[in-house]
Amino acid sequence: MSLTVYVFNGPNLNLLGRREPGIYGAQTLADVEALCAETAGKLGLSLEFRQTNHEGTLVDWIQEAGTAQAEGRAIGVVLNPAAYTHTSVALQDAIKGAQVRVIELHISNVHQREEFRHHSFVSPVAAGIMVGFGTDGYRLAIDALHAKAEAEAMRA
């Protein structure tokens, strides 16, 4: 059975393609899912791709992914927490508590934007951070998560 890579997307990312295209580009969330499916397929991984506008749902999903990783069924999560990046102690606690491998991802370079986007509650508990590569960052993040999981499995 193949290992799962989870890709979780937070609030307003369902609007990709028509939401501030100058910042987030023209690709829709369905395009991003197709890119992730192609990338996962090349690596022999199963993809679980989701989006929610609700903070608690992200917490539930992170806990679910933590259980799957602990049971050896998943390599971890590529997480675009969107605006919850900058506000959510609950997300930080969930990632820490679930002990799940997370790559934090932002389509835009948040550090070139408003000051309030410069702080992340997720970064201190992320295994790595992918920022500012547009939607192509999802492909790069899945590759990076896979490499990290493999390296850690070798050391274990």
Q: Rule CB under 6 A: is residue 17 a binding residue for ligand DQA?
A: no
Footprint of ligand DQA on 42-61 (CB under 6 A): none
What does R_g of the chain's alpha carbons equal in angstroms? 14
Active site residue 106: yes
From 110, 126, 141, 142, residue interacting with ligand DQA (rule: CB under 6 A): 110
Phi and psi at 41, nearest 5°, equal -60, -45
Q: Rule CB under 6 A: is residue 40 a binding residue for ligand DQA?
A: no
Q: Give which of 103, 104, 91 is closest to 146, Cα–Cα.
A: 103
User: Is 90 within 8 Å of 125 (Cβ atoms)?
Assistant: no
Active site residue 111: no
Q: Rule CB under 6 A: is residue 12 a binding residue for ligand DQA?
A: yes
From 62, 82, 130, 145, residue interacting with ligand DQA (rule: CB under 6 A): 82
Using CB under 6 A, count the residues that bind ligand DQA.
Answer: 10
The stretches of 12-135 forming alpha helices (DSSP H) are 21-24, 29-42, 55-70, 89-98
The site for ligand DQA (CB under 6 A) is made up of 12, 80, 82-83, 85, 106-108, 110, 117
